[in-house]
Amino acid sequence: MKLDTILILDFGGQYCHLIGRRIRENNVYTEIAPYDISKKDFEKISQNFNVKGLVLSGGPSSVYEKNAPRVPEEILELKIPILGLCYGHQLIAYLLRGKVKTAEKKEYGLSLATLKKPLAILKGLKKKEKIWMSHGDTVFSPPPGFETLASTKNCPVAAFRSKKKPIFGIQWHPEVAHTESGNKTFKNFLFEICKCRKDWQPVNLIKNLVAEIKKMVGKERAIVALSGGIDSSVATVLAAIALGRNLTAVFVDHGLMRENESRQVRETFKKFDLNFIVMQEKNRFLKKLKGVKSPERKRKIIGNEFIRVFEKAARRVKANYLVQGTIYPDRIESGYARKSEKIKTHHNVAGLPTKIKFKGIVEPLQDLYKDEVRLLAKKIGLPKEILFRQPFPGPGLAVRIIGEVTGKKIKILKKADKIVREEIERWNFGKNLWQYFAVLLDTKTTGVKGDKRAYGQIIALRVVESREAMTANFAKVPYQILEKISTRIVNEIPEVVRVVYDITHKPPSTIEWE
């Protein structure tokens, strides 16, 4: 039976996947398609999915720009409910002859909506709702045949609906956690308006995913790129259940991992029946990174070398198949084959193509979001070090060493990072944090150590709370813990004379420093 599905049209907004996740949390499946999808494409998608509603996502454009992305009219005429969010809201207004203008005051962040009519999509919401806004253009009057449901101080038409068809628009972002009734709004759309069934249950997939891997690889050999992160770990376990000793997990140690990382990953996977190899390639990476300061160049070099090492491993074990922990956002972000019925797999390791021709690329998690992968991880019994492992960037410590990466700097940062982790965890403060780590700066500073002037390194601490890394707040770490961390770092690492705490949110900062 086909899954009830909400199709999200992607207008380039960073929020597109968040919409997908919020809807799936309500046990309704979602797919993302390009904004200019034709009716024919839509019909193709409908062969596999029971599309019950359409969401037009937000995006960075203005409807008045010359090449502004538009949804084809034939899509707006489909006989299914449509919900426009942010840019999607403005686009519906514009295409159906409402009035959209650049607002005198742009709105970013928290705002208050006044509900004129708490019905349909806004059913059950309060008269005043805390909402998250991020827009320049504003709808000043709704299209003919539409009515305004809510407004804010700077936005006279913050929500509307058609009086004849199930078409709705909301200027704010219900998908962002700061919008208090965001989930209620989605529930209204999914269950009251689109009448979706709750038929999306990711943990029920395990048996099928294992069977699919078995079918694809048969009796041949496969390798899996295992980083110890949750996605590659779950892919590894599913593949191990399916293939047993015909699977080799490859862990590439580029020397930019945290202290003890490769040992921990090896330990964790001991209990699963698979081959495990660690490629020790620290020197190769360091050599290539010599003299490189630009963060983007560092990322590229590491990505490229990673692939070379991976190819070496594949040849060594004579594998014909490649298993990857690619998840849904990775797949969409590496570009969907535009206008194709269903996005196909990409040959990528660390986001880059590999030259090795595999008979097949197996991506068991390609339709899942991170939180869904975590549900699977729990079900298959992965330990909590993996379930709750902090996200760790592919380029590793290289993006936490500002400027050139050297062996000496890596050593300093590894020690500092270990202290940060130990202290945060010892005080049991890590539970509600997204990430906590150290950054090594490339400026020196004066200090006193013993009775002597010391001229040494600076470590910055980055500790953030976040739900999905799109936005993040610096954590209000108790001074006691900060003090302990700072004291230990300057005492235990002779090269460091100063520790600073990063007190910026994201945005405008990012979580990582590079």
Question: Which residues are known catalytic residues?
Answer: 86, 173, 175
Using CB atoms within 10 A of its CB, is residue 322 exposed (0-12), middle (13-18) or buried (19+)? Answer: buried
Residue with smaller CB distance to ligand XMP, 218 or 391: 391
**CA distance to 26, 59, 392, per residue, from 189 (Å):** 11, 20, 36
Pick the stretch among 79-87, 185-193, 199-207, 504-512 that binds ligand XMP (CB under 6 A). Answer: 504-512
Binding mask 460-479 for ligand XMP (x = CB under 6 A): ---------x----------
Query: Looking at beta carbons only, is 186 or 285 nearer to ligand XMP?
Result: 285
Q: Which is nearer to ligand XMP, 169 or 255 (CB)?
A: 255
Instruction: Check residue 435 for interaction with ligand XMP (CB under 6 A).
Output: yes
- Which residues 387-406 are close enough to bind ligand XMP by CB under 6 A? 391, 393-395
Sequence-distant (6+) residues with CB within 8 A of 513 are 399, 400, 402, 439, 460, 462, 502
* Min separation Cβ 127 and ligand XMP, Å: 36
Q: Which stretch binds ligand XMP (CB under 6 A): 12-20, 192-200, 261-269, 506-514?
A: 506-514
Number of DSSP helices (H) and strands (E) in the chain, helices first: 15, 20
Cβ proximity to ligand XMP: between 167 and 420 the closer is 420
Instruction: For residue 3, give the DSSP letter.
Output: P
* DSSP strand pairing (167-170 vs 82-85): parallel
The Cα–Cα gap between 175 and 97 comes to 27
Q: Is the dihedral of CA 161, 134, 110, 513 positive or negative?
A: positive
Where helices occur in 49-199 by DSSP H, the ranges are 73-76, 87-95, 182-187
- Give the nearer residue to ligand XMP in terms of CB position, either 22 or 400: 400
Q: Is 352 in the site for ligand XMP (CB under 6 A)?
A: no
Quote the least distance from Cβ 131 to ligand XMP, whole Å.
Answer: 23
Residue choice 299, 331, 374, 421 for contact with ligand XMP (CB under 6 A): 299
Q: Exactly one of 197, 312, 444, 506 binds ligand XMP (CB under 6 A); which one? A: 506
The count of other CB atoms within 10 Å of the CB of residue 107 is 21
510 binds ligand XMP (CB under 6 A): yes
* Nearest-angstrom CA–CA distance, 365 and 367: 6
Please identify, using beta-carbon distances, which residue of 394 and 403 lies nearer to ligand XMP: 394
Size of the site for ligand XMP (CB under 6 A): 11
Least separation in angstroms between residue 390's CB and ligand XMP is 8
Q: At what angle do helices 407-426 and 479-492 cross, to 10 degrees?
A: 150
Beta bridge partners of 31: 7
Burial status of residue 291 (CB atoms within 10 A of its CB: 0-12, 13-18, 19 or more): exposed
The interface with ligand XMP within residues 8-67 (CB under 6 A) comprises none
Q: Give the shortest CB-295-to-ligand XMP separation in angstroms.
A: 9
CB of 366 to ligand XMP, least distance (A): 17
**Residues engaged in binding ligand XMP (CB under 6 A):** 299, 391, 393-395, 435, 469, 506, 510-512
